[in-house]
Chain A
Amino acid sequence: MMNRIPFAVVGFVVMTAAAATAQRGGGTPEPSSASAAAPIDLTGSWVSVVTEDWRWRMVTPPKGDYIGVPLTPQGRKLADSWDLARDNAEGNQCRAFGVGNIMRMPGRVNIAWEDPNTLRMDFDAGTQTRRLRFGSSPAGEVSWQGSSVATWEITSGGRGAPPGKPRTGDLKVTTTGMRPGYFRKNGVPYSDKMVLTEYFDRHSEQGDEWFTVMAIAEDPAYLSEPFVVTTSFKKERDGSNFKPTPCETTPPPR
C-alpha cells in the first residue's frame, strides 16, 4: 500500500500536467521552470499610483482611524493603543512595512527573477525584499515579509468568449510566517497568524503597462472577515527613480 500511494499521486499529477498542456495548445514542451512557464511578465521597475486610500497611505492617519478595516474588538483595542515612539524605541520601525502593507506603501518596486523559480521584489519604501518562491517555500524564520509560495494560474476565458483560448493567467501568492505588523501606518494591526493571498494581474492600456494586486488578508486574531484591497502599479522605463529609504513613519499631522 505504501508503495502504491506515491504512484497514485504521481499519476494524478501527470494527468494534471497533461491537462495543463492541453490548455497551452498541445504539442509544446513543458516549461522547465517557473520563469519559463510565466504567462505574464511582472519583471521591471514599477511605481505605485496612489489614487485610492490617499489619506491613509500618503499621510500617517490619526490614531484610531481604522475605517474600512474589519477589525475585531481585540484589533480595535490594539489600534487604539498604538504608540509610534514605543515602536521606534523597541526597534519595530518596520511594522508598517511588513507584507500586510508593503504593497500599499507609496514607493517603487523592482521585480526580477532571482533564480528560475524565485521572483524577487525589492521595495524602496523601508528597503524591503519579498521572495515569491514557486514549487515550495522553505519554512524560514519569521520575518516582516513572511514566506511566500507562488503559483501561476493559467486561465480559460469567460462565458461568452469566442472559441480559442489565449495563453494567459495570473500569479497567485500565499504568504504566512510573518512578524506581526500594521495594515496602515497608524498601528492597525495584523498578527503572525495572518494568511495573505494575493493575485497579480497585468494590463496594457493605451501605451501604459500596469500590474494590479488584489490582496485578501485573513487573520483570526484581529480581523472579523477577510480584508480585501486592490493596488495598482505603473511600469517605468528603468529603475533610476528607485531610492531606498529606511523604515520610518512620520507622526500623524493632527
Chain B
Amino acid sequence: MKTLSICALLFLAAVPARAQVDLAGDWRAVQHEDTFRRGGVLVGEYVGIPLTPGGRLRAESWTASQLTVPEHQCIPHPVTYAEHSYAMGQMRVWNVVDPETAKIVAIRKRGTWMEPERTIWLDGRPHPPAEAPHTWQGFSTGRWDGHVLTVTTTHIKSGHLQMNGVALSDDVTLTEYFTRRGNYLTNVTILHDPVYLTEPFIRSSTWELDPSLNFVRYPCGPNEIVVEIPRPPNFVPHVLPGQNTGLDEFAVRYGIPVEAAGGGAETMYPEYLQRMKTAPVPAAPKPAAAAAAAR
C-alpha cells in the first residue's frame, strides 16, 4: 500500500512530456458540429455572429444568384471560411524544408474544393506592409507554443464568413490555434474585423488523420466556367435594402425569433436565453405552404 502511494504521488508530479508534434499528413474532416453552417445555411440565418449593422445590411442584400456569375464561379473560399467548410473536407498538410539548413521553414496545407492552398511561415519573417496585395488565403506566420501552433493571418481579400452573404472586410485578421492529439487535429480560429464584426468571432474544426485518403482534386479554371444564366454584361445579382423576402425563412422553419436570426453579439451569450422567452416567434408555415417550399 505504501509503495502504491509513493507511485501515485510520483505520477502526480511526473507530468509526461509529449513527443514533438507533426501536422503533416492527409486529414479527413470530422463533421460533428455546425454541420449546416459548413454545408450551406439559409438566407437570414446569422445567429451567433457578432454582426455590425453594416454587416447585416450587406448580408441581407446578398443573393445566391451571385454564385452563378461567370466572374464569381471560381472564387475560392477565403481562409476565414475555408478552414470550416467542405473545402477542407479533405486536407493535405506538409512541411517545407530549407534544403540548405534542413530546417522546417513553413507548413503548407491544401483543401479540395477550389483547391485553397496556403503557406504558414515558421521562419520568423514579418508580415508584409499594409499596402501589399491581399489574397484569398492571406499571409500567415506561425509559432509553436508548446503543442499548439499559433498562426496569424493578415492580407486576406474581402470575402465571406459563411455561404449566405455574411461578409468580412479586407481589414480582417485571423488567429488560429492548431492542436494535434493522436490522430485528431483541431483548429480553433478567432476573427477580428473592425468593419463587419463588433467583437471577436471564435469557432473550431476537427480532422482525423486518414493515410488511406483518396485525395480528390476540385480545380476551377476557364474550362470549368459556364454561363449558367444569360444576363446582360457586368450584371451583379443583388437584393435592394428592404426588399429581401427570404429573410424570415430560418426563423419560421425553426421557430426562432426573427431578431435572433439576425444575429449580433448578444445572441452569442447565455443572457439571450431570457430574451428569447419573450421575443416574438413567427408563426409556423401552413402545411400547404411548407410542402410548396419543400418542392
A interface with B by C-beta (< 8 Å): 6, 9-10, 13-14, 16-17, 19-20, 23, 30-34, 37, 39, 47-55, 58-59, 67-70, 106-108, 117, 124-125, 134-136, 151-161, 165-166, 168-170, 199, 201, 203, 205-206, 208, 210, 212, 214, 216, 227-230, 232, 241, 250, 252-254
What are the residues of chain B within 8 A of A168 when measuring CB–CB? Answer: 145-148
Check B49 against A51 for contact (C-beta < 8 Å).
Answer: yes
The interface size of chain B toward A, counting residues with CB under 8 Å, comes to: 78
Asked if B233 is an interface residue, CB under 8 A from chain A, the answer is no
Check A159 against B104 for contact (C-beta < 8 Å).
Answer: yes
B interface with A by C-beta (< 8 Å): 3-4, 6-24, 30-37, 47-49, 95, 103-107, 122, 143-149, 175, 177, 179-181, 184, 186, 188, 190, 192, 200-204, 206, 253-256, 260, 267-273, 276-277, 281, 284
8 closest cross-chain pairs (CB), A and B: A253-B255, A168-B146, A160-B104, A17-B14, A155-B147, A161-B144, A158-B21, A230-B204
Check B7 against A230 for contact (C-beta < 8 Å).
Answer: no
Q: Which residue of A lies closest to B97 (CB)?
A: A160
Chain B interface, DSSP helix/strand/loop, else mixed: mixed
Check A170 against B200 for contact (C-beta < 8 Å).
Answer: no
Given contacts A158-B144, A206-B200, A254-B284, 15 further A-B contacts (CB under 8 A): A13-B10, A14-B10, A32-B13, A50-B48, A50-B267, A54-B267, A59-B254, A68-B34, A106-B269, A135-B8, A135-B11, A166-B145, A208-B200, A212-B204, A232-B203
Check A160 against B107 for contact (C-beta < 8 Å).
Answer: yes
Q: Which residue of A lies closest to B147 (CB)?
A: A155
What are the residues of chain A within 8 A of B200 when measuring CB–CB? Answer: 205-206, 208
Check A67 against B35 for contact (C-beta < 8 Å).
Answer: yes
Chain A interface, DSSP helix/strand/loop, else mixed: mixed
Q: Which residue of B lies closest to A136 (CB)?
A: B8
What are the residues of chain B within 8 A of A208 when measuring CB–CB? Answer: 190, 200
Check A13 against B14 for contact (C-beta < 8 Å).
Answer: yes
